[in-house]
Amino acid sequence: MEDGTLKSPGDCGDTEADYDVLQWDTRVDCEVRQILDRVADKWSLLVIALLDQRSLRFTELKRKIDGVSQRMLTRTLRHLERDGLVERTVHPTVPPRVDYALTPLGASLHTTIKALVVWTESHQNEIATARNSYDRRVRDAEALEDATV
Protein backbone atom coordinates (compact mmCIF):
# COMPACT_ATOMS: atom_id res chain seq x y z
CA MET A 1 0.00 0.00 0.00
CA GLU A 2 1.35 3.45 -0.93
CA ASP A 3 2.12 6.10 1.65
CA GLY A 4 -0.98 8.20 2.32
CA THR A 5 -3.39 5.55 1.03
CA LEU A 6 -6.14 4.74 3.48
CA LYS A 7 -6.92 1.14 4.35
CA SER A 8 -10.67 1.55 3.86
CA PRO A 9 -13.11 4.39 3.22
CA GLY A 10 -13.96 4.54 6.94
CA ASP A 11 -10.33 4.50 8.11
CA CYS A 12 -9.34 8.10 8.76
CA GLY A 13 -5.97 7.49 10.32
CA ASP A 14 -4.67 6.30 13.66
CA THR A 15 -5.65 8.68 16.45
CA GLU A 16 -3.73 6.64 19.03
CA ALA A 17 -0.14 6.83 17.75
CA ASP A 18 0.50 10.52 17.13
CA TYR A 19 -2.60 12.42 18.16
CA ASP A 20 -3.37 14.90 15.41
CA VAL A 21 -6.68 16.73 15.17
CA LEU A 22 -6.24 16.87 11.39
CA GLN A 23 -6.81 13.12 11.36
CA TRP A 24 -10.47 13.82 12.16
CA ASP A 25 -11.08 13.73 8.46
CA THR A 26 -13.98 15.83 7.21
CA ARG A 27 -14.86 13.38 4.45
CA VAL A 28 -18.41 12.06 4.67
CA ASP A 29 -17.20 8.47 4.82
CA CYS A 30 -14.92 9.03 7.83
CA GLU A 31 -16.37 6.95 10.65
CA VAL A 32 -14.39 8.71 13.39
CA ARG A 33 -15.86 12.05 12.31
CA GLN A 34 -19.37 10.57 12.03
CA ILE A 35 -19.18 9.09 15.53
CA LEU A 36 -17.84 12.33 17.02
CA ASP A 37 -20.60 14.29 15.31
CA ARG A 38 -23.19 11.91 16.72
CA VAL A 39 -22.06 11.61 20.31
CA ALA A 40 -21.11 15.27 20.68
CA ASP A 41 -24.44 16.78 19.69
CA LYS A 42 -26.36 18.39 22.53
CA TRP A 43 -29.30 15.97 22.60
CA SER A 44 -27.08 12.87 22.65
CA LEU A 45 -24.99 14.30 25.48
CA LEU A 46 -28.10 15.00 27.55
CA VAL A 47 -29.64 11.58 26.88
CA ILE A 48 -26.43 9.78 27.82
CA ALA A 49 -26.06 11.88 30.98
CA LEU A 50 -29.64 11.19 32.07
CA LEU A 51 -29.49 7.47 31.34
CA ASP A 52 -26.37 7.09 33.46
CA GLN A 53 -28.52 7.44 36.57
CA ARG A 54 -31.11 4.81 35.59
CA SER A 55 -33.20 3.55 32.70
CA LEU A 56 -35.94 5.95 31.65
CA ARG A 57 -39.09 5.86 29.60
CA PHE A 58 -39.42 8.04 26.52
CA THR A 59 -41.85 10.41 28.25
CA GLU A 60 -39.50 10.77 31.23
CA LEU A 61 -36.62 11.68 28.93
CA LYS A 62 -38.79 14.16 27.03
CA ARG A 63 -39.90 15.81 30.28
CA LYS A 64 -36.32 16.06 31.61
CA ILE A 65 -34.77 17.47 28.41
CA ASP A 66 -35.99 21.02 28.04
CA GLY A 67 -36.57 22.07 24.44
CA VAL A 68 -36.25 18.71 22.69
CA SER A 69 -39.04 17.85 20.28
CA GLN A 70 -40.59 14.39 20.19
CA ARG A 71 -39.20 13.88 16.69
CA MET A 72 -35.66 14.91 17.67
CA LEU A 73 -35.67 12.75 20.79
CA THR A 74 -36.89 9.78 18.75
CA ARG A 75 -34.12 10.31 16.17
CA THR A 76 -31.48 10.76 18.85
CA LEU A 77 -32.50 7.57 20.65
CA ARG A 78 -32.55 5.60 17.39
CA HIS A 79 -29.07 6.83 16.47
CA LEU A 80 -27.70 6.02 19.92
CA GLU A 81 -29.31 2.57 19.77
CA ARG A 82 -27.84 1.96 16.31
CA ASP A 83 -24.39 2.95 17.58
CA GLY A 84 -24.70 0.48 20.47
CA LEU A 85 -24.78 3.15 23.18
CA VAL A 86 -28.42 2.80 24.24
CA GLU A 87 -30.59 -0.28 24.64
CA ARG A 88 -34.33 -0.10 23.98
CA THR A 89 -36.57 -2.54 25.85
CA VAL A 90 -40.24 -2.92 24.91
CA HIS A 91 -42.43 -4.37 27.67
CA PRO A 92 -45.51 -6.27 26.42
CA THR A 93 -48.10 -4.25 28.30
CA VAL A 94 -51.11 -2.24 27.20
CA PRO A 95 -50.16 0.39 26.31
CA PRO A 96 -46.64 -0.84 25.52
CA ARG A 97 -43.94 0.48 27.85
CA VAL A 98 -40.54 1.27 26.36
CA ASP A 99 -37.46 1.80 28.53
CA TYR A 100 -34.10 3.14 27.44
CA ALA A 101 -30.84 2.34 29.22
CA LEU A 102 -27.14 2.77 28.57
CA THR A 103 -25.25 -0.22 27.30
CA PRO A 104 -21.79 -0.89 28.78
CA LEU A 105 -20.36 0.98 25.78
CA GLY A 106 -22.65 3.94 26.49
CA ALA A 107 -21.68 3.88 30.17
CA SER A 108 -18.00 4.06 29.21
CA LEU A 109 -18.77 7.12 27.07
CA HIS A 110 -20.56 8.72 30.00
CA THR A 111 -17.29 8.70 31.94
CA THR A 112 -15.74 10.91 29.25
CA ILE A 113 -18.79 13.17 29.12
CA LYS A 114 -18.72 13.54 32.91
CA ALA A 115 -15.06 14.64 32.74
CA LEU A 116 -16.05 17.30 30.20
CA VAL A 117 -18.90 18.53 32.42
CA VAL A 118 -16.61 18.67 35.47
CA TRP A 119 -14.03 20.65 33.46
CA THR A 120 -16.76 23.04 32.26
CA GLU A 121 -18.09 23.57 35.77
CA SER A 122 -14.64 24.27 37.19
CA HIS A 123 -13.76 26.77 34.41
CA GLN A 124 -17.12 28.44 33.82
CA ASN A 125 -16.10 31.68 35.58
CA GLU A 126 -12.91 31.96 33.52
CA ILE A 127 -14.91 31.38 30.35
CA ALA A 128 -17.51 33.98 31.36
CA THR A 129 -14.70 36.49 32.02
CA ALA A 130 -13.09 35.74 28.65
CA ARG A 131 -16.45 36.13 26.87
CA ASN A 132 -17.12 39.48 28.55
CA SER A 133 -13.64 40.69 27.67
CA TYR A 134 -14.04 39.60 24.04
CA ASP A 135 -17.49 41.19 23.74
CA ARG A 136 -16.14 44.44 25.19
CA ARG A 137 -13.20 44.46 22.72
CA VAL A 138 -15.52 43.80 19.77
CA ARG A 139 -17.98 46.47 20.92
CA ASP A 140 -15.15 49.00 21.38
CA ALA A 141 -13.67 48.17 17.96
CA GLU A 142 -17.08 48.57 16.29
CA ALA A 143 -17.66 51.88 18.06
CA LEU A 144 -14.23 53.11 16.94
CA GLU A 145 -14.94 52.01 13.38
CA ASP A 146 -18.32 53.78 13.39
CA ALA A 147 -16.68 56.96 14.73
CA THR A 148 -14.10 57.02 11.93
CA VAL A 149 -16.62 56.49 9.13
For residue 4, give the 3-state DSSP assignment. coil
pTM score of the predicted model: 0.68
User: In this predicted model, what pLDDT tens digit does every residue of 53-93 receive, in sequence order?
Assistant: 899 999 999 999 999 999 999 999 999 999 999 999 999 99
Mean of per-residue pLDDT scores for the chain:
84
For residue 9, pLDDT beyond 80: no
Contacts of 50 (CB under 8 A, 6+ apart): 56, 61, 64, 65
Structure confidence at residue 28 as a pLDDT band (50, 70, 90): low
What pLDDT sits at residue 53? 85
Cα(56)–Cα(100) distance, rounded to whole angstroms?
5
pLDDT at 17: 52
CB 65 within 8 A of CB 32: no
Lowest mean pLDDT among 31-40, 43-52, 91-100: 31-40
